[in-house]
Structures are given as C-alpha cells and as structure tokens.
Amino acid sequence: MSSFAMRLAAAALTVVVGWACAPRSPSCDACGRQECANMTTSIVRAGGTTERTCCPRCAVHVLRSGSRATSITVRDFETGQSVPVEQAVFVEGSDVHPCRGLMKEPPRDERGCCLTAAYDRCEPSVVAFSSAGAAARFMERHGGLVTSWSVLESSRRPA
C-alpha cells in the first residue's frame, strides 16, 4: 500500500472515529432542534413508542396527531428533574425562549436561501416547573402567565 493510500485510510479512520465518538444532543421529534435538557418532554404512546420534544410547546403539536399518549413527562426548568405532566406548573409566554437559542442559523429553503422566520412552532414559550412557587418566581422575573397542562392541551384541539 502506498504512503498516500495509508495516509488517506488513516484520515478516513480518524473522521469515522471522531464522528462516532462526538457527543450528540437528541433532536426534537417535532421540529428537529437539539433538545435543551431542562425543557425536554417525553411522550409515551399507547403502542409503547416514545417521542421526545425540545419543549412542552412542541409536545402539544405532536399530540395533535398519532395514537393516544399513555404518559407524558416534562423537565423542571430549574432542576432538570422529570415531572409527570399532570403535576407540573407551566409558565407560558415569558421572555425566555430556550428553543430559539438552539437554532444555529436562520431557516433556509430547499435551495439554501436564508428565510425570515414568520412562525416558530416553539412559540410562545412554555416552561415547566415542579412547584407553583418556582413558577411564580420565574414569572415575576420573566413575565408570562402561569397555566396548567390541561389548559395548554385544550388549546391544541380544533374549535
């Protein structure tokens, strides 16, 4: 084997190993953005499949279609701990937009042209907390409205 071929093989191996070992954040099943650990929502479907979304807002979108959810868990924004959705308290419409920060660049069309985002499926932001006190403190600093999952979920149903 020539020295050029050996260097090429070594370079290819380096790329493959680097790719395989690179840390990856899971991506949202709804919008494709990388997940923020303290915003992730997990939806377990009746068939046993699990869908993960970057935020509770994307979970509302995901629940518009597909089979019934048997369980949904969200992450407490402050602690990152999993919380059953029925026990969580949410702040909707604050000035904190974690998902927007996960976009690496503006959206592009199929030709690669930069687009102006007129709609963002993660907006208005929805942030989950394990306690009403934590949600109220967050709302005092960042605005928004305290709400429940049942209110958020009812907003997804057609009128």
Among 67, 22, 54, 44, smallest CA distance to 125 is for: 54
Q: What is the pLDDT of residue 28?
A: 85
- Cis peptide leading into 56, omega within 30 of 0? no
pLDDT band at 24 (very low <50, low <70, confident <90, very high): very low
Q: In what order do the strands lie in the sheet with 82-84?
A: 50-53, 41-45, 69-75, 82-84
| CA distance linking residue 3 with residue 9, whole number of Å | 10
| pLDDT at 67 (0 to 100) | 67
Mean pLDDT for 41-45 is 93
* Pick from 15-29, 81-95, 142-156: least confident: 15-29
Q: Which residues contact 106 (CB under 8 A, 6 or more apart)?
A: 114, 115, 116, 117
Q: Where are the domains of the chain?
A: 27-154
Ramachandran region, residue 99 (left: φ > 0; alpha: ψ -120 to 50; beta: rest): alpha
pTM (predicted TM-score): 0.71
Stronger pLDDT, 126 or 118, i.e. the higher one: 126
Say what the pLDDT of residue 26 is.
72
Using CA atoms, how far apart are residues 138 and 128, in angstroms rounded to an integer?
A: 10
DSSP reduced 3-state for 133 = helix
Quote the pLDDT of residue 30: 82
pLDDT recorded at residue 104: 54
DSSP 44-111: EETTS-EEEESSHHHHHHHTTSSSPEEEEEEE-TTT--EEEGGG-EEEES-S--HHHHT-SS--B-TT
Chain CA centroid to CA 129, Å: 15
**What pLDDT, on a 0 to 100 scale, did the predictor assign at position 71?**
95
Q: Give 77 or 68, the one with higher predicted confidence.
A: 77
Confidence of residue 14 (pLDDT cuts 50, 70, 90): very low
